[in-house]
Amino acid sequence: MTKGFHRFFRTASLLVAAPLLLGGAAEAASWTARGNEPGWHIDVSDSAISFSSMEGETFSIEPVPEPVRAEDIEVYTGTAGDKAFTLVAIDKICTDNMSGMPFPKAVVVTIGERALVGCGGDPLSLLIGDWKVEEIAGEPVIATSETSLAFDLDGSMHGNASCNRFFGGFSLTGEGLTLSPGGATMMACETGLMEQEQKFLAALEQVNRFESLADGRLRLVDVEGNTVLALRQ
Shared-domain flag, residues 160 and 68: no
pLDDT at 175: 84
pLDDT at 184: 94
**222: containing domain:** 124-232
Alpha-carbon distance of 130 to 216, in angstroms, equals: 12
Percent of the chain whose pLDDT exceeds 70: 88
Burial of 32 (0-12, 13-18, 19+ CB in 10 A): middle
pLDDT at 57: 94
Q: For 80-113, how does the pLDDT look when each residue is reduced to its tens digit (9 = 90+)? A: 999 999 999 999 999 999 999 999 999 999 999 9
Shared-domain flag, residues 16 and 98: yes
Shared-domain flag, residues 103 and 134: no
pLDDT at 16: 39
Shared-domain flag, residues 173 and 206: yes
Shared-domain flag, residues 30 and 90: yes
Alpha-carbon distance of 14 to 49, in angstroms, equals: 22
Using alpha carbons, select from 89, 227, 98 the residue that is nearest to residue 174.
98
Burial of 231 (0-12, 13-18, 19+ CB in 10 A): buried
Q: Cα-atom radius of gyration of the chain, to the nearest Å?
A: 21
DSSP H helices, the chain, are 2-17, 124-127, 191-204
pLDDT confidence bin for 8, thresholds 50/70/90: very low
Boundary residue ending a domain (77, 102, 120): 120
Shared-domain flag, residues 154 and 203: yes
Q: Report the CATH number that the domain containing residue 209 is assigned in CATH.
A: 2.40.128.270
Boundary residue ending a domain (83, 105, 120): 120
The backbone region for 104, taken as left when phi is positive above 0, alpha when psi lies in -120 to 50, beta otherwise, is alpha
Shared-domain flag, residues 11 and 104: yes
Q: For 149-199, how does the pLDDT look when each residue is reduced to its tens digit (9 = 90+)? A: 999 999 999 999 999 999 999 999 988 999 999 999 999 999 999 999 999
Least confident of 22-26, 67-71, 131-135, 225-229: 22-26
Alpha-carbon distance of 157 to 152, in angstroms, equals: 6
pLDDT confidence bin for 26, thresholds 50/70/90: very low
Shared-domain flag, residues 47 and 143: no
Q: How many domains does the chain have?
A: 2
Shared-domain flag, residues 112 and 10: yes
pLDDT confidence bin for 73, thresholds 50/70/90: very high
Shared-domain flag, residues 128 and 110: no
pLDDT confidence bin for 6, thresholds 50/70/90: very low
